[in-house]
Amino acid sequence: MLVELQKEKIPKVQLLDLGLIDYQEAWDFQTERHKELVARKLRNRDLKKAGLATEEQTHYLIFCEHPPVYTLGKTGSLDHLLLDEQGLAEKGFTFYKINRGGDITYHGPGQIVGYPIFDLDCFFTDVHKYVRYLEEAVMRTLAEYGIESYREEGYTGVWLPENSHSPKRKICAIGVHLSRWVTLHGFAFNVNTLLHHFDNIIPCGIQDDDKSVTSLAKELGQALDIKEVQNKLKQHFADLFHYTYSTVNN
């Protein structure tokens, strides 16, 4: 007797590039997408209980850049922001306390900020594996530029090893939030980032003398085409998470 095997459902992800966008506007946008995925998940549970066909879940991978902004995670310390309200205004920075994990970080032009809005029930329900995959996508992208990277024990994000010229350097920060296994927030990958903007904070709350921050441009000695880096990054995401994707003009 022949048994027809049910094909594994491959998740579908919509890629959106929001360009340079205000942090609050981007936060609102990803929050709406998050609510959309959670609502569809709950509807599907009810439909499944009723023996009815379920809706296909839609996932998003959002790329953007922000005007200079500092964000503080829910477990971070305000002491790690080295500017007061007046200092922020004078230098043209904004500041937000947000609901992701992690401490304080910087976002600005020349940085690839990525917000995966994934329903992990469609991939795997393992938050540690999820964070490792975010790191791995960046590490594989760096490898394409001949840059060696690694994970620093006890910290999230992507690091470059110390050498005769520099200490350990963080090139990508990660901070996420999950609700009902739907992801929010994501990563900040320094490509052509203005690194002196990190001088106004204690990045990620790390005060070790043997650690600093860097960018892909600094390591290679030249500015990069940020769209080229994005294209490499999005393919590594698709390979790791095993999804198909389409680009959406927002």
What per-residue confidence (pLDDT) applies to 7?
47
Q: What is the pLDDT averaged over residues 223-248?
A: 95
Element (H, E) at 229: helix 226-241
Residue 139: pLDDT band with limits 50, 70, 90:
very high
In this structure, are residues 197 and 68 in contact, taking their beta carbons and an 8 Å threshold? yes
Q: What single-letter DSSP state applies at residue 56?
A: P
Is the pLDDT reported for residue 207 higher than 50? yes
What per-residue confidence (pLDDT) applies to 250?
61
Q: What is the pLDDT averaged over residues 5-26?
A: 87
Is the pLDDT reported for residue 74 higher than 90? no
Q: 219 is written with which tokens?
A: 């390591």
Residue 3: pLDDT band with limits 50, 70, 90:
very low
The closest alpha carbon to 111, from 210, 41, 194, belongs to 194
CA distance 118 to 209: 36
What per-residue confidence (pLDDT) applies to 141?
98
Q: What is the pLDDT averaged over residues 27-31?
A: 96
In this structure, are residues 170 and 105 in contact, taking their beta carbons and an 8 Å threshold? no
Give one DSSP letter per residue of 94-138, joined into a string: EEEE-SSSSSEEEE-TTEEEEEEE-BGGGT---HHHHHHHHHHHH
Q: 129 is written with which tokens?
A: 């594996």
What per-residue confidence (pLDDT) applies to 8?
60
Q: Domains in the chain, start-ordered, CATH in brackets? A: 12-245 (3.30.930.10)
Q: Which of 64, 122, 172, 204 is catalytic?
A: 204
Q: 140-189: per-residue pLDDT in tens?
A: 999 999 999 999 998 899 999 988 788 899 999 999 999 999 999 999 99
Element (H, E) at 40: helix 23-49
172 is catalytic: no
Global model pTM greater than 0.85: yes
